[in-house]
Copies of this chain bind each other. A is one copy, B any other.
Amino acid sequence: MSVFTPVTSEALADWLRRYAIGRLAQLQGISAGVQNSNFFVTTTLGRYVLTLFETIPRAELPFYLHLMAHLARHGLPVPAPIADRDNEYLGTLSGKPAVLVARLTGQSDMTPAPARCARVGAMLAGLHLAGLSYGRRQDNPRGAAWRSATAAQVRPFLPADEQGLLDAELAFQAAAAGEELPEGVIHADLFRDNILWDGEHIGGVIDFYFAGVDALLFDVAVTVNDWCTLPGGELDETRTRALLDAYHAERPFTAAERKAWPAMLRAAALRFWLSRAADFHLPREGELVLVKDPNEYRDILRLRARAVPPLVEAGR
């Protein structure tokens, strides 16, 4: 989240007349993140976040907005989009697709204790269970097809040893694919900065703009790779166990998922290595992206090829 497109108080005050949330009291840009322009908006009736979409095609936005509305309706702390007086979520402001969402409270925790990892596991299961009754479908935009295409694009920029790692991983993933895994709507980017803590409760799950339909286990793997990794890249067994057990208590893993787990951790690591390598080597013109270190996920990928904690402990 950052501000790439400016919004004036005058334009916003005018735009807010389409809504039933009172008059503009305060407008403040949010300087963080990568893909959209974001602002805190306070009105006489409430506190909201305004997002202007800089890169996502307008036609793909209803999937995300209705998903957030669906999950909020099911009692989960996600940023519910606000409908205007014509019952529409999506508008246009400063020439960009724009939406207001509920402002959630809390702060990120970059060094989570096991108890918080357990809460995240339970929350992820809740998102998956509530998502099962969501009616719209859009594929995971960073799914297997994207990974193959992006690998071909970034490969020429990699040193020889990383090309070897990439080739071996793509071959491994192709061989590992096959067994049917439970699918559904996944958040696909549930990193520590996308959870807001309100005391020991999760006050907010944010940034649904990588969501899509894919194997639910892929989402678990993305989450574990971020929440449960030690500074060197290895998994912290205590946090991993806490997250997986709490998830399993809400949505028990299937036999096929238990088998697929080690490969899925690698697929999830590959996805972030590739996107970061692409951002690094192939920056798109006119796009302001906070480039994150690709080597972090290259190293995680290498380490996940070793032994990892099982998805479900023996006897459960």
Contact = CB atoms under 8 A, between A and B. Distances in A.
Interface of A: 19-23, 44-48, 69, 72-77, 80, 82-87, 100, 102, 119, 122-123, 126-127, 129-130, 132-133, 201-202, 246, 249-250
B201 A133 contact: no
Given A23-B249, A249-B23, A102 B130 contact: no
B22 A250 contact: yes
Contact of A45 (B69, B83, B86, B123): B123
Contact of A80 (B23, B72, B201, B250): B72
A201 B45 CA distance: 7
Contact of A132 (B80, B85, B123): B85
A76 B201 contact: no
B201 A47 contact: yes
Most chain B beta-carbon contacts within 10 A, residue among A21, A82, A100, A129? A21
Contacts of A123: 22, 45
Contact of A126 (B21, B69, B74, B84): B21
Contact of A75 (B23, B102, B250): B102
A20 B76 contact: yes
A85 B122 contact: no
A132 B246 CA distance: 43
Contacts of A48: 75
A49 to B, nearest CB: 11
Contacts of A202: 45-46
A85 B130 contact: yes
A193 B258 CA distance: 52
Given A20-B76, A20-B126, 11 more contacts: A20-B127, A21-B74, A21-B76, A22-B123, A44-B246, A45-B122, A45-B123, A47-B201, A48-B75, A80-B80, A85-B132
A250 B45 CA distance: 11
A69 B74 contact: no
Contact of A129 (B20, B87, B102): B20
Contacts of A21: 74-76, 126
29 contacts: A19-B74, A19-B75, A20-B74, A20-B75, A20-B76, A20-B126, A20-B129, A21-B74, A21-B75, A21-B126, A22-B122, A23-B122, A23-B250, A44-B119, A44-B122, A45-B126, A45-B202, A46-B75, A46-B76, A46-B77, A46-B201, A46-B202, A73-B83, A74-B82, A74-B83, A74-B84, A75-B102, A80-B80, A85-B132
